[in-house]
Amino acid sequence: MMETVRVRFAPSPTGALHIGGAHTALFNWLWARRMGGSFVLRIEDTDRQRSTEAFEKTILAGMRWLGLDWDEGPDCGGGFGPYRQSERLDLYRRYAEELLEKDLAYRDGAAIIHRIPQDRTILFEDIVYGSIEIKSETIKDTVLIKSDGTPTYNFAVVVDDHTMAINYVIRGEDHIINTPKQILIYDALGWELPHFAHLPMILGEDKKKLSKRQGATSVYDYRDLGYIPEGIFNFLALLGWSAGDDKEIFDRHEATALFDLAKVAKRKAVFDMKKLDFVNQEHLKRLDPIRKLDLVRPFWEAIGLDSRLVDDGYLLRSLDLLEGRGQTLKEMAAYSDFFLSFDPVKERYDGSDISEAIKARLRPFFEALLAIGNWDHDAMAELARQWAIDKGLKLKDLAMPLRWALTGRKVSPGIFEVAVHLGPEEVRRRLAHYGLI
């Protein structure tokens, strides 16, 4: 009979949910969902000095933002809260006392210490790294219960994983060094070992340990920069695992169907910001238009634009005209600011590069443009094409001044589409400001 997969994510509430922790949580979540198992959330909060309720709330909020829902825990009314080590102290003391009774541990003052057996070869099979072997002589006696009565990490994690029936321990490769100590505790208590899978470290683009400058920061920092959970989820899944067939863009359902723990790579993953931007942009393109609008609104507000003053239909069309421009919500808000207000256009562009001679040459064209009865893209494009031929000009000689006047940018969506969307009165106002009519 196939065992039911049970995995856990066990963060310490001594900081926000950073990228490394989110990566570990995501791989545990994917394996549980792929195998129809359970994903358990456990807060390791026995570090009384550094653990805070605020950090715990931030971690939970970050997981919810990424859609990493957990399956069980204490009922907190309307849903499950996480398990907390601080609420399980009696359990750790009980098993430490059992090891004392078996003479497999001893007291040193108020502390309880595991007596490491000698002449033992500790061998375990890691799903990612293969066979790992270590001699017990290289391990010092291990503290189980500290003098203040709290358990050490290596003891608490074994007791928790066993009593919660965790049978797949999926965590970062920095924990490989702890695994032999934990295996000896499993053996001392007569417990069956779980499967171990250690995930490769995530490096910065310089191939060194990930720094905050290169991505080792809170997932909420990425939210505030305009990344969306679908993009972060997809990108993190690509760090150390491949969906196959060069498939890089997928949603959580596709990732769940394809994920295989045995295909996690041994080599260290590289946090590539350009890849993150690309992946996030692809997911922005997939967003439902209404949701996209709701997500962009706060970023307009952040740059001083009140989207409530503008019709939603107009705003939806504004975002549609971007045609995929913008790799984050923040960039989308910035690239579309000229649709909401003329103020950012004037701040970016003062028109000083247009001489009076050029203005005199362009005014007849812009007057003709504003006189078009059928205010649509095709009519404008045809007028510009014919005008350029008649006057011996290049099309860009007409289009670029119009683009600068309407958007304040060198690059924008199709400028005649922009003009149609802004409407003739707003186009007239902007052209007049720069003396082009």
Tell me what the mean pLDDT of segment 375-398 comes to: 96
* Catalytic residue flag (residue 181): no
Percent of the chain with pLDDT over 70: 97
Looking at the domain that runs over 343-433, which CATH code has it been given?
1.10.10.350
Non-local (6+) Cβ contacts of 380 within 8 A are: 369, 372, 416, 419, 420
Q: Which of 212, 266, 391, 396 is catalytic?
A: 212
User: Which stretch of DSSP H or E encloses residue 347?
Assistant: helix 343-348
pLDDT tens-digit series, residues 300-312: 999 999 999 999 9
Residue 211's pLDDT band (cuts 50, 70, 90): low
Tell me what the mean pLDDT of segment 310-325 comes to: 96
Residue 50's pLDDT band (cuts 50, 70, 90): confident
Would you kindly state where each structural domain of the chain is located, as residue ranges?
287-341, 343-433
**How would you classify residue 174: left for phi > 0, otherwise alpha for psi between -120 and 50, otherwise beta?**
alpha
With b for 16 or more beta-carbon neighbours within 10 A and e for fewer, the 222-250 pattern comes to bbeebbbbbbbbbbbbbbbbebeeeeebb
Position 227 scores a pLDDT of: 97
Tell me what the mean pLDDT of segment 177-183 comes to: 97
pTM for this one? 0.93
Residue 77's pLDDT band (cuts 50, 70, 90): low
Position 1 scores a pLDDT of: 56
Per-chain mean pLDDT for the chain: 94
- Per the DSSP assignment, residues forming a β-bridge with 123 are 133
Residue whose entry in the numeric block shows the structure tokens 């070869």: 121
Selected residue with higher pLDDT from 154 and 211? 154
Tell me what the mean pLDDT of segment 45-50 comes to: 85
Position 214 scores a pLDDT of: 61
CA–CA gap between residue 40 and residue 84 (Å, rounded): 11
Percent of the chain with pLDDT over 90: 89
Position 75 scores a pLDDT of: 65
CA atoms within 13 A on the CB side of 1: 2
pLDDT higher than 70, residue 39: yes
Residue 78's pLDDT band (cuts 50, 70, 90): low
Position 76 scores a pLDDT of: 57
Residue 216's pLDDT band (cuts 50, 70, 90): low
Residue 206's pLDDT band (cuts 50, 70, 90): confident
Position 217 scores a pLDDT of: 78
pLDDT tens-digit series, residues 150-167: 999 999 999 999 999 999
